[in-house]
Amino acid sequence: MPPNTTASSGQKPGKSGRKKGRRARLILIVLVLAIIGGVAYGAFWSISTVRASFPQTKGSLTLDALSGPVDVKRDGYGIPQIYASTDEDLFMAQGYVQAQDRFYEMDVRRHMTAGKLSEMFGESQVDEDEFLRTLGWERVAEKEYKTKLSAETKKYLQAYSKGVNAYLKGKDGADISLEYAALGFSNDYKPKAWTPVDSVAWLKAMAWDLRGNMQDEIDRSLMTSRLGPKQIADLYPDYPYDRNKPIVQEGQYNSVTEEYEQGGGTGTGTGTAAGSAAGTGLANGTTAPAGLQSQLSGLYKVLDDVPEAVGVNGNGIGSNSWVVGGEHTISGKPLLANDPHLSPSLPSVWYQMGLHCKSVSEKCRYDVSGYTFAGMPGVVIGHNENISWGMTNSGADVTDLYLEKLTGDGYEYDDKVLPFTTRKEKIDVAGGESKSIVVRETNNGPLLSDRYDELVKVGKKAGVDSAAPDRGDGYAIALRWTALDPGTSMDAVFAMNRAANWTDFRKAAALFDVPSQNLVYADIEDNIGYQLPGRIPIRGEGDGSLPSPGWDSKYRWTSYIDQDELPYEYNPKRGYIVTANQAVVDKDKYPYTLTTDWGYGTRSQRIADLIESKIKNGGKVSTDDMRQMQLDNSSEIAKLLVPKLLKIDVDDKYVREAQKLLEGWNYTQDADSAAAAYFNATWRNILKLAFGNKLPKELRVKGQCLYVEPTDSTGPVDNEDDKVRECGQRDADSAQPDGGDRWFEVVRKILDDEDNDWWSAPKTRTDQTVVDTRDELFARALKDARWELTAKLGKDIDTWSWGRLHRLYLKNQTMGIEGPGFLQYMLNRGPYNMGGGEAAVNATGWNAAGGYSVVWVPSMRMVVNLDDFDKSKWINLTGASGHAYSAHYIDQTGKWVKGELLPWVSSDRAVDKATSDTLVLQP
């Protein structure tokens, strides 16, 4: 039976969910309030200061090193289309234009990836820098640039850097952005020249945010302090292959024998973590050593403080991407849709642009348009004149945590003591003294545990079993991660931009080693396809679901899955392909373990059902149909639960009044829906009562306190006075249960077992009834939700709406978080009342443990029409500009909130017609 818990009388509401690192983030300028006053304040923050950094978008400018003139044509939303006569000129202009709009964002990103935030923002960032230096993204990027990337790619990166530096030439901070003007009050930081490595390192940050199942790996181990193996298995159910179809259903795996395609074969198993090693502390199935709980809890705190580059890494987050072949479309050619789900940021992580050679030839080979990242040349997602492609995170498990036995100045490996690989790192601190650290690595990777004082203390105190050396240094935690090896992903970007057909595209995908992404494809010849790329490890022992014993060579990675053996699909008979972070392939039809922690397929199956409903009886799909599918906000968990919630006999007339909202509700989560508000509040309380209050403190929300049985108790504690008070330790946007579709599946599995132990809940100060059955728990959740919404939205249910609970705040990711109030006012925007929800296709995600605020969003939306690219549509979360008072700072946000898309033109004629401003860059 799940551990008995009682709500603390000192229970506090969950905090806002801002990360500790964010609270401290990037702010010395709080001193500005003490410095600025009166006339000086008004004079400095004048209109001229705010506008000083706005880019020139008309007329002409001279750029050294250009070989010929380059035209930069911007439409009414400031989106640039660049026209050049050579590849180098094209990418040099791209660097210049992106720096015009987004250099401050680019500068912060490169300091993050290099572990040099302290150089910009002072002592508050030292801890984060120490961890990032330990990971060594910049060092890996340098090796990648020197040893892995093609000469052609280096040439493009160099040209891009020249463009960025041409923009910086002769400018001081206030000429570049409002944020630099503010920074000038607290330190004398000056932007440095851009380098090719700065661009390459950004891919490491993207890979970190999309790294796979590390959070689940940690969480499963942390659960062992309060839950047994069966209980943990309940919380990580098997993927429902019979109900939610995998991506590849008719595909192939080159070089894999026929028996694999028919469900036979050998190799590492693909069972879920729950089935393989749940409830144990190590991958070998043994009990975790003493101290591992605290070590992993400390590690999570370190990970949680690392700045997010492009998204939250956790359950529920993902992306949608699908393609429909011409047989099922109005035009007779494919339609391709994509909307990556990432953390909301201001400006948006994406930058829209077109890169066009005036005449495509050997010296100028690009005609591509789409979304990229400011700071990186090329286009990441989009289309060229022949093909289109989209991406979603595959979730492939490319990280493993290794517990290491330390002894003296080394670590144990196969009964030998090996010396650490070490390096010194110097961290420069704005306004303070520099700090030096030593990074230690084992043959499994860097020791993350060195970066958290508490981990070091616990490691020294950790008990050791008979197989461990009798030393006081204890255990450490090392990280093995594919992105810490140099790769070729930057080569892949340019190869994809040039690909003319499926064969070219697959060759380009083979270069895309990290992060592993689901790639969907369509071309003008009416072909559609899917390819899984990435460097995905093959493990000797273990499945990557739990930390492995680093001292045993059997748990090492033996090799990587060959690119020819990665799943793909081409022109399937069903005529469409859907990827939304579900399982890539049926576990019985593939010999290798890709991950044990797929998304559970709620969104992907809903998209497939929407397509099927449209094409049945010969129906055809339009561009607007694809857009409408992106906006589908149907709640799949509501369809499952509401019929049972309506059967609950409720005595309280106010609770009954709220319960009636669910009668006749069509399960759509529109912003103005009172029923959606009440259902989601009920769902949140079901999760809290059934699961959340039974999880260890390391997974619960900070400030939420419970009285629980001591972890060392031998049986149930009947005397409430003997229970101990435990408060949650995790930030609100990453706590559990988060309410994602894993939890849909958890509840589905036990829903008809009305007496399942998970449905039990103890009495509280406000409710003296003990809950023992499902319906009793549902009744309490209905009541708790009623009074929660009464407090948040008012007693009158006619005033309730989902959007009043489910709000999006767009915050500048540096000074908009904890800067002085006037700066936050200048830089931030919102709130916006949102529809959509968790695991809906319109995935405006929220964390059920922490509250209702939006924590991830469709960061952009696009629909590509392969019959006529000028009939394609797109939208960004914010706008092209990173300048707070530019007309293009958030000029797309209002339409994004409404689900509207903008025309996406790419032909010369259509671009000219849409152009508002033209800037000519002269050599």
Q: What is the phi/psi pair of residue 283, to 5°?
A: -65, -20
Alpha helices in 115-150 (DSSP H): 117-121, 126-135, 137-143
Per DSSP, the three-state class of 436 is strand
| Nearest C-alpha neighbor of 530 from the set 630, 391, 393 | 391
Two structure tokens written together for 355 = 């890169």
Residue-wise pLDDT for 513-530, tens only, equals: 998 999 999 999 999 999
CA–CA separation, 333 and 346 (whole Å): 36
Instruction: Confirm if 410 and 404 have CB atoms less than 8 A apart.
Output: no
Predicted pLDDT at 182: 82
Q: H helices within 794-892, ranges in order?
A: 802-805, 815-818, 821-827
Whole-number pLDDT of residue 495: 98
Give pLDDT < 70 ranges for the chain: 1-49, 185-186, 212, 252-317, 453-474, 711-722, 764-767, 818
355 Cβ contact partners less than 8 Å away, ≥ 6 residues apart = 82, 90, 91, 94, 366, 367, 368, 369, 378, 379, 497
pLDDT value, residue 746: 98
- Per-residue model confidence as pLDDT tens digits over 746-797: 999 999 999 999 999 987 666 677 899 999 999 999 999 999 999 999 999 9
* 0.85 exceeded by pTM: yes
| pLDDT tens string 199-221 | 999 888 888 877 767 788 888 88
Query: What distance in Å separates the CA atoms of residue 135 and residue 131, rounded to the nearest whole number?
Result: 6
Judging by beta carbons within 10 Å of its beta carbon (0-12, 13-18, 19+), is residue 622 exposed, middle or buried? middle
pLDDT of residue 863: 98
Instruction: With residue 367 as reference, give the H or E element that holds it.
Output: strand 367-372
What's the confidence (pLDDT) of residue 317? Answer: 59
Q: What is the pLDDT of residue 15?
A: 38
Q: What is the pLDDT of residues 547-574, one digit of tens each?
A: 888 999 999 999 999 999 999 999 999 9
Cα 619 → chain centroid:
35
In angstroms and rounded to an integer, the radius of gyration of the C-alpha atoms of the chain is 27
Residue 639: strand pairing partners: none
SS3 898: helix
**What is the predicted pLDDT for the residue at 666?**
98
Q: Which residues contact 562 (CB under 8 A, 6 or more apart)?
A: 255
The pLDDT assigned to 453 comes to 57
* Coil vs helix vs strand at 921: strand
Number of C-alpha atoms within 13 angstroms, CB side, residue 910? 11
Question: What is the dihedral sign for C-alpha 37, 39, 44, 48?
Answer: positive
CA pair distance 655, 486, nearest whole angstrom: 59
Under a CB-based contact definition with an 8 Å cutoff, are residues 138 and 117 in contact? no
**Alpha carbons 349 and 374: distance in angstroms, whole number:** 8
Q: Which pLDDT score is estimated for 13?
A: 36
**Residue 248 DSSP label:** B
